[in-house]
């Protein structure tokens, strides 16, 4: 006897839509406790950041209004978790009674009634997902269709899991530890070959940033000053911060990108410092470290589904606290901190977040980075 699998039209529609959004549009399932007969999917890079496939029967407008109330409450929670202010949400209802009419919706919410595939011929839906009808057609039937959809979704989720594991698995921190060793060696050499890290002459000899020297051709100071420190407390504080933050950025972006982020953030910090602190000897890795925080901020934005709580509870507070500290405490080069932070974010834009940014995004990031560096170089070196 031939085995057959009878699938209800509603379940078939849910399967086809889930297959489309997960395998074709890179959406990921959202796990929500206490929600039945609904599939929630997210892709924070899509026009509709959340797609909701509703399978339970909506039999009247009162039930539809309650569904909208429940949706609004859940979306508020997702916004907080993902550090998102505006979130366009698409709800596709696959089992709606004939007497149900479309209720008034909030600005960022869109609802589609789609009891059948032909109901997907909605102009607003096709504008964002023009291939949805084509991609929800299958030659397979019955158990073969069920097997294909299940296997495709499983394989897609496995591939996504492997990519995430590759990105979030801790890797070696060779560049971070090399920078720490260089800073420590240079600090020791200032005492062996000079008069110590607190001596102005020694700092200048070893490459500290000072307006009239840097602006008169000694441009190397924009970078060398990031490997100098004034006093043991300054060194220990910055090296501990680099030891904590550096390995994370190096692991996420890779060694080459990490090196570029660190060096360009250091140069950005030194250049902005020249604009506001022209006649002050400036040294330290803190500007470059702020650049690493900027890189974490940029990375965390694109992976805020996984790092949303870390962004809110750790990265953003650390940046704000240190900037406020720099404004209220004398002797802190806050211009360098801000310059490093901006440099880190913009360099990360140009390099791209792993597995997130396409070529066009990186080109736009490179253009913004070039404009920024052109502006601060002009302000620091061209304006008298």
Catalytic-residue membership of 234: no
Q: Which helix (H) or strand (E) holds 350?
A: helix 334-351
pLDDT in tens, 276-333: 987 889 999 999 999 999 999 999 888 877 776 777 777 888 888 888 877 777 778 8
| Contact between residue 69 and residue 51 where contact means Cβ atoms under 8 Å apart | no
pLDDT of residue 86: 80
Question: Which strands, in side-by-side order, build the sheet including 28-29?
Answer: 28-29, 38-42, 50-54, 89-93, 109-113
Tokens of 247: 């390995």
Q: Give tens-digit pLDDT for 49-71.
A: 999 999 988 888 888 888 888 88
Quick: pLDDT tens for 242-287.
Answer: 999 999 999 999 999 999 999 999 999 999 999 998 788 999 999 9
Asked whether the predicted pLDDT for residue 224 surpasses 80, the reply is yes
How many Å from the N-terminal Cα to the C-terminal Cα in the chain? 92
The one catalytic residue among 268, 270, 282, 286:
286
Q: Three-class SS string for 236-300?
A: HHHHHHHHHHHHHHHHHHCHHHHHHHHHHHHHHHHHHHHHHCCCCCECCCHHHHHHHHHHHHHHH
Q: Is 33 a catalytic residue?
A: no
């Amino acid at each position: 006897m031939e085995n057959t699998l009878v699938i209800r039209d509603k379940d078939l529609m849910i399967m086809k839509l889930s297959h489309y959004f997960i395998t074709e549009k890179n959406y990921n399932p959202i796990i929500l406790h206490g929600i039945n007969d609904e599939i929630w999917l997210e892709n924070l890079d899509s026009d509709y950041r959340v797609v909701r496939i509703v399978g339970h029967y909506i039999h009247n407008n009162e039930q539809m209004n309650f569904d909208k109330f429940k949706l609004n409450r859940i979306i508020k929670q997702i916004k907080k978790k993902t550090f998102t202010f505006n979130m366009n949400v698409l709800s596709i209802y696959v089992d709606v009674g004939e007497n149900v009419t479309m209720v008034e919706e909030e600005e960022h919410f869109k609802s589609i009634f789609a009891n059948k595939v032909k109901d997907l011929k909605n102009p607003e839906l096709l504008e964002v997902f023009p291939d949805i009808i084509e991609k929800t057609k299958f030659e397979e039937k019955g158990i073969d269709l069920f097997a294909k959809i299940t296997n495709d979704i499983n394989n897609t989720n496995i591939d996504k899991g492997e990519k995430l594991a590759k990105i979030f698995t801790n890797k070696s921190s060779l560049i971070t530890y090399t920078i720490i060793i260089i800073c420590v060696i240079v600090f020791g050499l200032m005492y062996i070959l000079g008069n110590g890290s607190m001596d102005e002459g020694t700092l200048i000899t070893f490459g500290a940033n000072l307006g009239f020297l840097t602006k008169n051709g000694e441009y190397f100071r924009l970078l060398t000053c990031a490997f100098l420190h004034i006093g043991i407390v300054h060194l220990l504080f910055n090296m501990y911060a680099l030891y904590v933050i550096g390995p994370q950025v190096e692991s996420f972006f890779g060694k080459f990108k990490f090196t570029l982020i660190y060096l360009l953030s250091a140069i950005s910090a030194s250049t902005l410092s020249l604009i506001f602190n022209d006649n002050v000897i400036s040294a330290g890795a803190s500007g470059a470290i702020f650049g690493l925080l900027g890189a974490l901020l940029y990375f965390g934005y694109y992976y805020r589904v996984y790092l949303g709580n870390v962004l809110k509870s750790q990265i953003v507070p650390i940046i704000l606290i240190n900037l406020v500290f720099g404004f209220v405490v004398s002797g802190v080069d806050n211009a360098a901190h801000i310059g490093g932070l901006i440099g880190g974010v913009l360099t990360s834009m140009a390099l791209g977040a792993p597995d997130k940014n396409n070529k066009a995004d990186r080109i736009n990031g490179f253009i913004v980075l070039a404009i920024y560096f052109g502006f601060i170089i002009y302000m620091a070196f061209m304006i008298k």
